[in-house]
Structure 1
């Protein structure tokens, strides 16, 4: 018997669906009462599912289409759960399994986990426990799928990145004057955009044309003075940012060996720090689920600065009412943290498609300044990502920012991914 169903629970938000894999769960269970229980739980949490009576039927179904995970009863006729898991792993070693068992002995549980299953459930099944385990496992499957997409994207981008690095080095050696000129022009553009010096110049010119003299004093409209005061705050912020950049460049880094867990523990702190900005844009930050720990050689204060800048840029330019996702991957001896935000579809996005690599250059901007974010920026004048690149080089690491297409959801979405690579220590 094969049954299928699609979620009808309207209480599950659209965002939750986007955080899950597209493929249905395959319930492999011979007893009808347990099938009904598991079907009800799937409907409750809003995920699609299909049902197979035994391992043999499930194996045939799995050959025809992919499933997000397999919820397997160990004791079944025709083909039991252990045999199904062994056969399915031959077909797809990356398959994810949750097993159901009535055995509650430590030794037996260890043997079950050695089969390569993700989790287990002890019978009799409890609705709340099963729902919680399914939610967590689906999140894990989604994140692992995103990890695979990122690794594939990284492989495709590697040649382009190497060509860019070679181009930068050749330009530095053969065309230093033009490089200096471009930096100056980019700085000029940044200074003249938004609030700050450009706006201050315009205000002063306007006041010069409108000013009136009375008893030896100039009269200035209140709204002009308020704008001058506001722009003065921006100018102070820019000067502080420049000072911060100089201090960062001159600071000696104290690299120490720490676990990757220590680095990842900085992420929840940053989420709290940007809570107001996230609430204002209705953004949801999703942090990584990482089971592997490695050793890194880092200066944690500098790493916090790097992550702060990644959050600043990611949240500042994120499309409202979307997710800001943080992922961890392990690529060719590097510990990689990737931050992904959805791209706002506008004219600046089109320019970004052609100029993404330049974003690590000093003073280079695509988007105009985001005024309500200036108070959160440690660096000014477009120096934030430049400092990220600089600090990662001091760690013998790398920084890349690029466009990508998110294929993990039903609706494909253009996104921007910022990646930091830190060498894993042995």
Structure 2
């Protein structure tokens, strides 16, 4: 189990899935009328704040307290906004700034953005614009902090998983019999869960006890026959999924060098494919905003299958009215795409803490099938993550799925993080 995410960093408002840091923003403004205006806007949207009259006072305040965002006026006495930004960045390079200026000229805006600020506001300030920009800025701070936490956790997890893979490979030959036996037991359990073969067996047994004979023909209740037909469709889907798994294993995968940006263009397409399911469960999908691009070697069709399976697995077990977050990080020479979903708290979720490494084994399942996602599964019988792991090995990459404690909700919750690692090419 991974270490918990630091709870001091995050909070979630009760509406519209908004995520904000817990610390207040610092308004740095010398004019009283602008202070009053900005304070009123913060109160209106529920943002905690403090006020400093100039950059020097703000620097002193920042020594003793953390702020999520600095809203800085550029023209102030004692210490102006540009000087404050430069000095504060020396102390904490991760600080996020939004500036306000009365100069609406291209040259001035370019100079402002060169300082590394997140956004700028043009005076006179408009209430709706300021409120909207503040919301976006705080969401940005939240995501940047989550990204930093993920990078740290992924680096630790990568080392841990590499050790596990080395251990597993060194013991593979001595454990071949046990491995085959476990796969057979997993298959037996999976076949007896949910609709399909297990349900069909039960229905046929019931029909045997209820059937009657009339004029040499068996009479079977219509409800039982309808159930039998429905489960036959599930059986056909399972066989189709097995065929696809065999085809995937036997196929030759041709890799091409592309940019990570090209790979990420798949994400919005897949989000649309799951629109009905996400709307039904009221799940909000948050896609990454990535400013860095690297070279990777992939097969786009195979990667589309991989990402689709990760979405399928994450969304079908996600808690209703939660967030499904996608992050991109760069860890130890790898491009990493992570998907985080909050789990429904039940007995199955508890099993994940001791079984996470088994999820890529053939036919292994912790949760029973989710019927509403049946039509979305490309593979059957719990083979989806097995195929993800197989395809990523064909890309010289790795797949990890791990449980964690999510402190980004109002009450801490169990979550699962699925991670794709692809080597960065020169």
Shorter-chain TM-score bucket reads: over 0.9
Equivalence for 2:361: 361
Equivalence for 1:58: 58
Does 46-55 or 375-384 show the bigger shift? 46-55
Q: Give distance in 2, aligned partners of 1:425 and 1:110.
A: 33
User: Counterparts in 2 of 1:379-418, with a 5 A limit?
Assistant: 379-418=379-418
Q: Give distance in 2, aligned partners of 1:147 and 1:137.
A: 15
Equivalence for 2:220: 220
Equivalence for 1:295: 295
3-state DSSP class of the match of 1:356? helix
Report the Cα offset of residue 22 of structure 1: 1.8
Relative contact order higher in (CA < 8 Å, ≥ 6 apart): 2
TM score, norm. by length of structure 2: 0.93
Equivalence for 1:5: none
3-state DSSP class of the match of 2:418? strand
Equivalence for 1:3: none
1:64-100, Cα deviation, whole Å (9 max, x unpaired)? 2211111111111222112211221122110011111
Q: Give distance in 2, aligned partners of 1:267 and 1:117.
A: 28
Equivalence for 1:75: 75
TM score, norm. by length of structure 1: 0.93
Q: Give distance in 1, aligned partners of 2:41 and 2:289.
A: 24
1:107-164, Cα deviation, whole Å (9 max, x unpaired)? 3333322222222222222333323322222221111111111122223323431232
Report the Cα offset of residue 15 of structure 1: 4.4
Equivalence for 1:4: none
**Where does the alignment leave 5 or more consecutive residues of structure 2 unmatched?**
1-11
Does 105-114 or 25-34 show the bigger shift? 105-114
Q: Give distance in 2, aligned partners of 1:178 and 1:25.
A: 57
Q: Give distance in 1, aligned partners of 2:164 and 2:197.
A: 33
The answer on whether the counterparts of 1:29 and 1:52 sit within 8 Å (CA) in structure 2 is yes
1:240-276, Cα deviation, whole Å (9 max, x unpaired)? 1111111212222232222222211211111111111
Report the Cα offset of residue 46 of structure 1: 2.9
Aligned residues: 415
Change (3 A) 1:25 1:256: same
Change (3 A) 1:207 1:364: same
The answer on whether the counterparts of 2:285 and 2:323 sit within 8 Å (CA) in structure 1 is yes
3-state DSSP class of the match of 1:415? strand
Q: Give distance in 2, aligned partners of 1:141 and 1:13.
A: 15
Equivalence for 2:253: 253
**Where does the alignment leave 5 or more consecutive residues of structure 1 unmatched?**
1-11
Report the Cα offset of residue 170 of structure 1: 2.5
Q: Give distance in 1, aligned partners of 2:17 and 2:212.
A: 62
Report the Cα offset of residue 410 of structure 1: 4.6
User: Counterparts in 2 of 1:336-375, with a 5 A limit?
Assistant: 336-375=336-375
Equivalence for 1:6: none
Equivalence for 1:308: 308
3-state DSSP class of the match of 1:425? coil
Equivalence for 1:153: 153
